[in-house]
Amino acid sequence: VPGPTSTDMARVFRSVRRDPLTFLGQVQRRYGDLVSFPVPGSPALLVNDPDDVRQVLQTGARHWGKSTVQYAALGRVTGPGLLASAEPNWIEHRRLAAPAFHHERLTAVSGRVRSAADDAMRTTLPTDGPGVVDVASLMHRIGLDAVGRALFSADLGGHADDLLHASSQAAEIVVRLGRSILPTAEWAPTRTNLRLRSARRRLDTVTAQLMAERRARPSAPGAVPHGDDLLGLLLDSGLTDREVRDELVTMVIAGHETVAASLTWTLMLLAEDRDAQERVRDELATLPGPVSLLDHRDRIPWTRAVIDEALRLFPPAWVVSRRSDRDDVLGGVEVPAGTLAIISPWLVHRRPDVWSDPEEFRPERFLETGAGRTAYLPFGQGPRLCIGRELALGEMAVVLDRLLATHHVGLPAGWRRPDPEAQVAVHPRGGMHLELTPLPVS
Ligand code: HEM
């Protein structure tokens, strides 16, 4: 399998640290769809062909597990929560959490997500004339608040600053650890370990408070003891407090940065394409009431196409990884047990053989049946598909509805697209400053 040689590796690691998205693109252009990296320990392959991606994530998912540096690093914050777990008992936790994401439940909490959006926008958006707003930061706040209200029935308002700070600090360290060549001992008093410990302590405190507040809440006669949201399901499930904590931290980390990043890029693309923005506004205005978390499924095809296209161009989860516990064949080549597979939705979504003019924002392509679907995985594929997919798509539609109903999104003077920066999610470096103008009240 072609790829950089071991003498290139120091340069490779430097490039991965500096700008992994550009680096991965260069490597793929130079070496093709299956690229080998001579990393210490085990063989590592960048897997880019949609059939091979499916083999790793779906068909061969039983033997391609999550024992990788990426998920070990995440696990240092989330513990073996749903996302990072490499354990076979992952499926039990998934079954426990699943009802919190069922359709009826999502329909019931649509209003809460709407309020989360309205509350954050009320204090941030200009009301009398155009104003420049960092929508990345606004979307972070909404993303966090929406997770709190939809899944924990909790107003995270009092904890918001602490949670945002602790989870972004933790995320930054997870990224650093995930990209390091050699694992650092967890006990060593390095700066990274100390900062990680402090972020973890703050996450522990907030989650312990959430659990204690819920346990102290009296339940209505005949109702589910702790409530039927995710927090209640977990508390009633027989999991230990530690396990509940791990799932709550997982949802906070997996559920707010990703949605915030997707919304931020969507707003940028709509600011750059006024016609697409008008069409979203018009479509949302035709609904008889406010958008619900499930409307994206079939009632707002253009808005959904915009969201899908934004997730194609800027997939927040830009890399996923797996390790095989037995020999397999990828791209016609035998790969031994222990091989690390690195899959980048960022690259797969830019394949010119599947997506015509892949760098162009063209939501129409998602209105054509089946177009490109084999090479599209913003939420992953197979049994470890994102559990929050429907909630995330719904949140995006609800936030777009609330924001575009009252404001036009435009580009400020001297506009230049911010560079995408690959952190836990792909964020705009330096924020996303867009011009928001209140629409005349009709
Ligand atoms: C898994 C992306 C929103 C919770 C995943 C995976 C991807 C992903 C790619 C699969 C990772 C892998 O296979 O290694 C996204 C994107 C989102 C989003 C792009 C937003 C646009 C959410 C939300 C939540 C969430 C809102 C919950 C509140 C999870 C969890 C898993 C997961 C718990 C692990 C599922 C399992 O392994 O059983 N997500 N996600 N995500 N996501 Fe999301």
C-alpha closest to that of 111 among 154, 158, 150, 151: 150
- Probe ligand 1: pick from 67, 83, 243, 265, max atoms within 8 Å of CB? 83
Question: Residues 389-426: pLDDT tens digits?
Answer: 999 999 999 999 999 999 999 999 999 999 999 988 99
Average pLDDT for the chain: 91
pLDDT band at 221 (very low <50, low <70, confident <90, very high): confident
Q: Which residues contact 362 (CB under 8 A, 6 or more apart)?
A: 309
Question: Which residues, listed in sequence order, are joined to residue 330 by a DSSP beta bridge?
Answer: 333
| Gap from CA of 184 to ligand 1 centroid (Å) | 27
More confident residue, 222 or 87: 87
- Tell the residue nearest (CA) to atom 2 of ligand 1: 379
Q: Cβ atoms within 10 A of the Cβ of 19, count? A: 16
Residue pair 113/259 in contact (Cβ under 8 Å)? The answer is no
Instruction: List, edge to edge, every strand of the sheet that includes 340-343.
Output: 34-37, 44-47, 340-343, 320-324, 64-65
Output the CA 142–ligand 1 centroid distance in Å: 17
Q: Which protein residue's CA is at the shortest distance from atom 43 of ligand 1?
A: 386
Q: 10 Å Cβ neighbour count for 242?
A: 10
Question: pLDDT by residue (tens digit) across 298-335?
Answer: 999 999 999 999 999 999 999 999 999 999 999 999 99
In this structure, what token pair is assigned to residue 199? 């972020």
Rounded average pLDDT over 91-117: 94
CA of 294 to the centre of ligand 1 (A): 18
Residue 114 buriedness (CB in 10 A; 0-12 / 13-18 / 19+):
buried
What pLDDT score does 179 carry?
A: 65
The pTM of this model reads 0.94
Ligand 1 pocket residues where CB is under 6 Å: 82-83, 94, 147, 151, 250-251, 254-255, 258-259, 262, 316-317, 320, 378-380, 384, 386-388, 391-392
| Ligand 1 centroid to residue 247 C-alpha, Å | 12
**Contact indicator for 159, 269 with CB cutoff of 8 Å:** no
Look up residue 158 and give its two tokens: 């009092």
Q: Name the residue of 62, 70, 386 whose CB sits within 8 Å of the most ligand 1 atoms, as the mutation to test its pocket.
A: 386
Nearest ligand 1 atom, CA 384: 37
Rounded Cα distance between 397 and 303, Å, is: 7
How many angstroms is it from 332 CA to the middle of ligand 1?
30
pLDDT band at 170 (very low <50, low <70, confident <90, very high): confident
| Residue for token pair 């039927």 | 228
Provide the CB-side half-sphere exposure for 55 (13 A, CA): 18
CA-to-CA separations, 320 to 22, 182, 341, 356, 380, in angstroms, rounded: 17, 19, 8, 24, 8
Prediction ipTM score:
0.99
Look at the domain 6-438 and name its fold.
Cytochrome p450 (1.10.630)
Rounded to whole angstroms, how far apart are CA atoms 318 and 177? 16
> What are the Cα distances from residue 241, in Å, to 68, 77, 86, 236, 322?
26, 15, 20, 11, 28
Give me 22's structure tokens: 């550009």
Evaluate the CA torsion angle 139, 415, 25, 27 in order and state its sign. negative
Cα distances (Å, whole numbers) of residue 408 to 185, 273, 296, 401: 50, 12, 21, 12
CA distance linking residue 108 with residue 151, whole number of Å: 11
Ranges 23-32, 86-95, 344-353, 371-380, most confident: 344-353
430 phi-psi bin (left φ>0, alpha ψ -120 to 50, beta other): left
| pLDDT tens digits for range 46-82 | 999 999 999 999 999 999 999 998 898 889 889 999 9
Q: Where are the domains of the chain?
A: 6-438
The residues, any chain, with a CB within 8 Å of residue 307's CB and separated by 6 or more, are 262, 266, 296, 393, 396, 397, 400
